[in-house]
Structure 1
Amino acid sequence: MKSTQQFTAIIEREGDGYVSLCPELDIASQGDNIEEARQNLIEAVELFFETADPSEVQNRLHSKFMEHERKSCN
């Protein structure tokens, strides 16, 4: 059974195109327009989950969670 999780996608104009970032996983992509940047980011995140070692996934998610917690406590 496939589980579904939601992640943040930040898309910004850069030069002649768009850059997309998933800050929770520290994954980025790009595209010529917003939709292409979004789709490319989705593909990059899917590839990450298909190929990354489970410990790498946990490390990235845990480090972003801890970073958020430190900011919330200050």
Structure 2
Amino acid sequence: QDAAREVKAKKKAEVVARKVSKQADRITWQAAQGSDVHFSGALSTKGKEDLIDVANQLKIETTGTKLELLKAIRAHFDAHTE
């Protein structure tokens, strides 16, 4: 049982480490792109990470579920129609 727990804990730690690494890579990419990133297509087809990128570019909150991000982005576009 203890060995099984250790294996499970190790796998979980590896998943967390990969996720943190992926986030760090994405943040580095965002910093390198600056405000030169262009988005196209329907928001509803975007993944959560893409919606976070859009929210970052709009300087709005980037936390929450995919649905919350969609609502925040749409609200921003409704308020800023220019």
Structure ranking higher in helix proportion = 2
Q: What is the TM-score when the length of structure 2 is the normalising length?
A: 0.32
More RCO (CA 8 Å, sep 6+): 1
> Which of these two proteins has the greater Rg computed from alpha carbons?
2
TM score, norm. by length of structure 1: 0.35
> Going by fraction, where is strand more abundant, 1 or 2?
1
